[in-house]
Structure 1
Amino acid sequence: MDRFVSRVAIIGAGPSGLSALRAFSQAEKTGVKVPEIVCFEKQTDWGGMWNYNWRTGVDEFGEPVHSSMYRHLWSNAPKECLEYADYSFDQHFQKPIPSFLPREMIRDYIVGRACASTLKKYVCFNSVVKHVEFDDDRKHFTLRFHNLVTGKSRSENFDYIIVAVGHFSIPNVPSFDGIDSFPGRILHSHDFRDARQFTGQNILVVGGALSAEDIALQTYKFGAKSVTISYRTKPFGYDWPPEIEELPLLTHIDERTVHFKDGSKRTIDSIILCTGYKHHFPFLTEDLQLQTENCLYPDQLFKGIFFQRQPRLAYLGMQKFYYSLPFFDAQAWYLRDVILGRIVLPEEEDRASDIRLWRERVKQLSGPSEGIDFQVDYARQLLDVTDYPKVNLLAAAAMFKLGRVHKQENILEFRDKLFTSPFTGTPSVANTVRWIDAKEDGIL
């Protein structure tokens, strides 16, 4: 281990932060000396985005609500693509389960691995990081945090900072002509909590990514009269039920009448903006803040992790990703081994060259299937130099692609499909009820 690395701060105890904690914990179990690890989590429990919070706007402490999670959410990829290599779904649930799971089961699985690793000793809950700066003379970071329960603030010094706060909590909210006079409800998907609020309504969903797809299905599932999806670039093109349609981007709003680029118009009761999120790190000094859009390879991060301007600052999970949980592990294990001195980072110019190579490859991608392959190659080059258990990335990629085929075949039934774990060989079992008919919110 680098003799100067004695303390490491992890900001956030969601899936990325927990992967980092797990990586250090596993090394320590083998007798490796690791730095002192302190994880700061502003919520009362770990789980990050997977913590459902009925509140919107601000929480009980007046802090912005982090989670964008809503009731009745199910995974949109088979669990077999999300499985940890060192902690299987079989190990956690002790029985075969369906491939597509409600949010509570995914959170239970994530937290289950953390509990099995006794990671809570590292985490300071209800502790929001307010300011981080780097001292060039002393070569360390100063981090100031505020305990939301006691009301007390304190500053501590660290050799490494790991930012693991995610990038799905600060909404990107566009404006449209006439939106200020719309008499119905307007909300961003960040504040969407329960589709039953929209039963019997004509809904407009603005957006063309996964949240727009899923919220359109959710509102349809729970009885919306109609759902119009307004896309900016291209339609999803699924064989939607008659109650769901796709139209190009809206141009303006006149009371309850919404006008679209193709000249059509619809009468709308509520508008849900599924227009994405911003990478936002107000607790970092400006020179340390990652500036990027939601992309497969941010141009300021070496190996998608290390801040080029100051490589002792690391970001986890900042990419647009097809994988999630195993993807976070790949980054966390690589990051851990750099901090432990097992992997030596190249000089700045060589890091920049490596970033350019990956960025150029991104420019050549022609669609989601190639994006999946890109992320396989990215994860493999991280995993191949660590001691993370063997992962069959090609099998996971094949399942992702097959899931996309299932969506095109029947958007209402793709979550009823069955897959087999590449780790345990256990086939999933069918749910007792079809997804479209599953109206409860809990563990199966």
Structure 2
Amino acid sequence: MKVCVIGAGAAGLCAIKNCLQQNLDVIGFEQSNDIGGTWVYTDKIDKDERGLDIHSSMYKGLHTNLPKELMCFPDFPFPSQEKSFLPASDVLDYLNLYVDTFNVRSRIKFLHIVVRVRPLLDNSWEVIVKNLITNMNETFIFDAILVCNGHFSVPHIPKFEGQKTFRGRQIHSHKYRVSKTFQNERVLVIGGSSSGTDLAREVSNDANLVIWSHHLKEHVDLKAENGNVIQKPDISSLTEDGVFFNDGSFERINTVLYCTGYEFTFPFLSIDCNLSCYENYVQPLYKHCININRPTMAIIGIIFNNCPFQTFDLQIRFHLKFLTGEKAFPSHEHMLADTEKDMNERWKQRGLSRRKAHSFGDGYQNEYYRDLAVTADIQPIKQYVTKMYSENRRNRQKDIATFRNYIFTIINDETFTTRLLFE
């Protein structure tokens, strides 16, 4: 069986490794000249030396917001070190070690960008790839496709009244690199997710004032060193030099920094792939990964609020169990019914919007992991994973300034201990 993996970030590397362990003939395509995807830092923010859009959203000084005990693949722990929260460079070193340990690099065609993927009449796949060295297109035929192109490169910027009249700077966190570019400014940071929380603190190191707009239900104490962060509700409108909020208050600002997430994009998939993506809801996907209309294709890693590396590995093993014929794919009707039941619960019981269609988080990711393992009869994710995820989330809510000072130690498959680095 010939398998195509699109992308050589963490998900793509995991896909190639698992395919190799199943003795599959796998090729990965990566548009850059190295592995790592979003974990590769660059000072560039627009185009690379070949005129391609910069893929990585990594900023200087980023540290993981999950402990390394959750950032690893289940069968390949991080090298031993005391701290649990690591700089991005350590994650990239880990991925390189993973690649070299499992001989993954030899299966990757670097500087090859996937132009089009389309199904053929015999249920195989035609993949057209542009070789960026020769500038020529090449055509490959595969039996299966694992789409691992990453989802942190195309910014989502919400629309606000007055957005076009604002005379200051407007940028997305995708293009954020260092806080000194906001020196002496009044900066509006929009968004309450990980990037919004982290960058509100980061920018406060150089800005005169940070106005952080979010709709988090719980209060977050940023404890900015300069005491120059104020929190505001959602935005009502922008003016030429400021912003009105839903509570009627107004602040003058120089810059808007959007920490508002990313768009799922699959520009290389032909319409014949029978997948749609509207407001980040990708459908129809069985268990949030297998293309129901063409099940030899899987989209890996679009779920969020979870443990990503653990999820990549589980989803890939889940798909390969069916691809290799160890288990028969469920019927088209069964996959549709299962997905409809899942999504109805998300819409009605959890009240999720389309943009949250693939959101998990506390409790729900544990159910999802268990469901995949039971359905495909594969090794489940260890119990400590979701427990540790929940404790880390509580620590982060309690004190965003110090939650990375915790050290996690795994005791066994179910339990772990926690202590502060500076006790």
Change (3 A) 1:387 1:308: closer
Match of 2:21 in 1: 26
Match of 2:112 in 1: 127
Give the drift of 1:372. Answer: 2.4
Give the drift of 1:152. Answer: 1.5
Selected match of 2:233 from 225, 248, 251: 248
Selected match of 1:43 from 28, 32, 41: 32
Question: Structure 1, residues 354-389: CA drift from partner, whole Å, max 9, x if none?
Answer: 112322443434899983221112122323566866
Q: Does 1:213 align with 2:197?
A: yes
CA contact (8 A) 1:306 1:315 kept: yes
| 1:97-176 aligned within 5 A | 97-135=82-120, 137-176=121-160
Selected match of 1:81 from 61, 70, 77: 70
| 1:327-342 aligned within 5 A | 327-342=311-326
Change (3 A) 1:149 1:23: same
Q: Does 1:188 align with 2:201?
A: no
**How far apart in 2 are the matches of 1:304 and 1:162?**
13
> Which secondary structure does the structure 1 equivalent of 2:184 belong to?
coil
Selected match of 2:184 from 196, 200, 203: 200
Q: Which amino acid aligns with 1:306?
A: I
Selected match of 1:357 from 313, 333, 341: 341
Change (3 A) 1:162 1:391: closer
**How far apart in 1 are the matches of 2:351 and 2:201?**
27
Give the drift of 1:422. Answer: 5.0
| 1:4-23 aligned within 5 A | 6-23=1-18
**How far apart in 1 are the matches of 2:296 and 2:289?**
10
Change (3 A) 1:112 1:385: farther
**How far apart in 2 are the matches of 1:41 and 1:101?**
25
Change (3 A) 1:323 1:303: same
Bigger relative CO (Cα 8 Å, ≥ 6 apart): 1
> Which secondary structure does the structure 1 equivalent of 2:140 belong to?
strand
> Which secondary structure does the structure 2 equivalent of 1:418 belong to?
strand
Selected match of 1:239 from 196, 221, 228: 221
Q: Does 1:326 align with 2:310?
A: yes
| 1:423-434 aligned within 5 A | none
Change (3 A) 1:326 1:285: same
**How far apart in 2 are the matches of 1:100 and 1:180?**
40
Could you tell me which runs of 5 or more consecutive residues in structure 2 were left unpaired when the two chains were aligned: none
> Which secondary structure does the structure 1 equivalent of 2:408 belong to?
coil
**How far apart in 1 are the matches of 2:272 and 2:219?**
42
Change (3 A) 1:85 1:418: same
Give the drift of 1:14. Answer: 0.8
CA contact (8 A) 2:305 2:360 kept: no
| 352-361 or 276-285, larger mean C-alpha shift | 352-361
Question: Structure 1, residues 104-161: CA drift from partner, whole Å, max 9, x if none?
Answer: 11221122112110101110001000111112x2322211111112211111111211
Change (3 A) 1:104 1:251: same
> Which secondary structure does the structure 2 equivalent of 1:106 belong to?
helix
> Which secondary structure does the structure 1 equivalent of 2:312 belong to?
helix
Match of 1:291 in 2: 277
| 315-324 or 381-390, larger mean C-alpha shift | 381-390
**How far apart in 2 are the matches of 1:370 and 1:61?**
37
Change (3 A) 1:427 1:115: farther
**How far apart in 1 are the matches of 2:412 and 2:208?**
43
Q: How many residue pairs end up in the alignment?
A: 412
Match of 2:47 in 1: 58
Give the drift of 1:430. Answer: 6.7
**How far apart in 1 are the matches of 2:305 and 2:288?**
12
> Which secondary structure does the structure 1 equivalent of 2:138 belong to?
strand
**How far apart in 2 are the matches of 1:262 and 1:75?**
34
Change (3 A) 1:386 1:40: same
**How far apart in 2 are the matches of 1:54 and 1:96?**
28
**How far apart in 2 are the matches of 1:138 and 1:390?**
34
Change (3 A) 1:370 1:322: closer
Question: Structure 1, residues 49-78: CA drift from partner, whole Å, max 9, x if none?
Answer: 111122122221111111111111111122
Selected match of 1:382 from 368, 372, 375: 372
Q: Which amino acid aligns with 2:371?
A: Q
**How far apart in 2 are the matches of 1:341 and 1:214?**
45
Match of 1:31 in 2: none
Change (3 A) 1:381 1:327: same
| 122-131 or 415-424, larger mean C-alpha shift | 415-424
After superposition, the CA RMSD in angstroms is: 2.6
Could you tell me which runs of 5 or more consecutive residues in structure 1 were left unpaired when the two chains were aligned: 1-5, 29-33, 435-444
Q: Does 1:223 align with 2:213?
A: no
TM-score (norm 1): 0.85
> Which secondary structure does the structure 2 equivalent of 1:204 belong to?
strand
| 1:358-437 aligned within 5 A | 358-363=342-347, 364-365=349-350, 371-384=361-374, 391-393=381-383, 395-422=384-411
**How far apart in 1 are the matches of 2:412 and 2:44?**
38
| 384-393 or 205-214, larger mean C-alpha shift | 384-393
**How far apart in 2 are the matches of 1:20 and 1:212?**
30
Give the drift of 1:308. Answer: 1.4
